[in-house]
Structure 1
C-alpha cells in the first residue's frame, strides 16, 4: 500500500498556502499519528528552524517518518531562485537548498524543488534558463545522493512557472539534461490544470515519478473536489509507484477536518 503523509508548515510568510497543519510541529505530528498517517512533509523557514534532536525524539514518540522537506521558503522568505539572473543569488539559492538537503538527509527524507525553480524571461530565454536549472539540480542531486535519497523536482502549473508545467515537460527536461538521481513530484492540483488525462500522464512518466501530492482539483483536501481517483490509483499501480501520497492541501474547512477527510479518501483510494 502506498504510504501516506501530511504537510506541516512553520513558515509565517506562507500563511494561506496549501499546507494542512500549521505552526505547531509537535501537536500536528501527534494528531497526524492519531489519524493513521505514516509520515509528515515539512515546510520550514530554513534548515535550522527545527532541532534535529527534538524532531528525532518526536518521530520516535509518534512512529512517524519524514516523507520530504520543502524548499519553497527560499523563495517565499528570501526571494531566492535557482535560475536568477544574478549569479550570487543563484549560489545563495543552491546553498539554501543544500542546507535543506542536509536537514532532510538526517531523516532519510528528500528535498523538493518547486517554486525555487523560478521563471524564464524574454531577456534570459527559456532554454538558457532550463540550462541554469539543470546545472543547479545536477549539483543538488549529487548532494542528495550522499544521503541515499533522490532530489525531487516539481512541475508547476502555468500560473506559477513557465519552465516545466506537465509531467511530460519534467521527463523531457530530466532526460535532455541527463540528470541522475532526480525524480518528479506529481501534484494532482497542478496536473488537473495542465494534463489532458491524469492517468495517462502517470503511465507516460513511469519510473520518473517519485513523489505524489494527494489533493483535489481545487487544492482542497482529497474528497472535497471533483477528481476521479480510481484511474489515478490504477495508473500508479501499473507503474509500480512506491513513494508517498502526501496531502499538500488547503486546511479547508479547517486543519483537523482536512486531515480527517484526506485520510478517509486515501483509504478508499489506496486501501
Structure 2
C-alpha cells in the first residue's frame, strides 16, 4: 500500500507557490502527494511534473464538481461544462505523468437538494462520466468515484451506490475511492464496504471521524486494515485533513483539529504505518 497525504493538510489552494509541498512530503518519507485540481487556472502541469520528478515522488489528483459543473443538472449547458471540466482534470493528470483522478466527480458537491435523486440524475451522471471516462482512458487515466456523506451529496453515499453507478457507466477505467470520514457516517461496516470495492478500489482517504489525528477517534481501523490486507491492497491511501477554510470547496474547519498540521501529520503517519506493518501492508 502506498501511503501519502492530501496537499490540503497545509494549503487551501494549489499553485506554484505550493510546489515546495512536494519536497516536504518526500522528506516525511511518504510515497505520494494528492494534488487538488479545484483551480486549474493555477495548476502548472509542467512545473508539477518537474518537481515530482526531481523529488522522485508519486502523485494522484482529485477534485469535486461545483454548481456550475454539475453533470446531474437539468440544464444541458451545465452538464456539458461539467464533462469538459472532468476532461480537463483527466488531461491535467496525464500531463504530470500520473494515472489516478478521483473525488466527487458524479454530481455537485454539497448540492442544495431536498429530495432523493431522480432516475434522470442517475442517468445524467452515468452519461457524463461515460464520456469523460472514454476520454480519460485514451490518456491512460482512471477515475475513482468517492462516496461522501448525506450532507455533501444526495447521489452517492455508500460503496454500494458507487458500484451501482460504475455498472451504469460501463467503462473499465471507472474505479472506487473510499473515505473513512464519510464511511463512519454512512456505512454499516468499514470491513464489508472495503471488501465490496474489491479490485476496483484505487484510492483510500484515511481520516478520523472528526478529521483529526488518525487513531484518536471512533474509526474502526482494525476492520479497515483487515479488509485491505485480505484484498492485498497495493493502491494509494492518503491522510486527508484540512487546515483551513477555503473559497474553492467546503472544508468546515471551524476549530483546531490538532496542535498543528505538522503534529497531525507526524502522529497520523506513525499510527497508520504501525497498522500497515501489523497487517502486512508495508
TM-score bucket of the superposed structures, by smaller chain: 0.7 to 0.9
Q: Which runs of 5+ in 2 are unaligned?
A: 244-256, 278-282
Number of residues of Structure 1 aligned to a counterpart in Structure 2:
256
What residue in structure 1 maps to residue 89 of structure 2? Answer: 100
Q: Is the 8 A contact 1:221 1:247 kept in 2?
A: no
SS at match of 2:24: helix
- Note closer, same or farther for the CA distance 1:220–1:79 as it changes in structure 2 (3 Å cut): farther
What residue in structure 2 maps to residue 212 of structure 1? Answer: 204
TM-score by length of structure 2 reads 0.83
Q: Of residues 100, 104, 110 in structure 2, which corresponds to 1:114?
A: 104
TM-score by length of structure 1 reads 0.86
Aligned-pair CA distance for 1:116: 5.5
Q: Which runs of 5+ in 1 are unaligned?
A: 9-18
Equivalent positions of 1:77-156 (< 5 A) are 79-106=68-95, 107-114=97-104, 117-118=107-108, 125-156=117-148
Q: Deviations over 1:105-148 (max 9, x none)?
A: 12223222406513595799521101000001111111221122
- Note closer, same or farther for the CA distance 1:158–1:125 as it changes in structure 2 (3 Å cut): closer
Distance between the aligned counterparts of 1:115 and 1:173, measured in 2? Answer: 11
- Note closer, same or farther for the CA distance 1:125–1:212 as it changes in structure 2 (3 Å cut): closer
Instruction: Please say if 1:172 is aligned against 2:171.
Output: no
Aligned-pair CA distance for 1:173: 2.3
Equivalent positions of 1:157-196 (< 5 A) are 157-196=149-188
| RMSD of Structure 2 on Structure 1 (CA) | 2.2
Greater CA drift, 259-268 or 34-43: 259-268
Q: Is the 8 A contact 2:117 2:155 kept in 1?
A: no
- Note closer, same or farther for the CA distance 1:259–1:121 as it changes in structure 2 (3 Å cut): closer
Aligned-pair CA distance for 1:99: 0.8
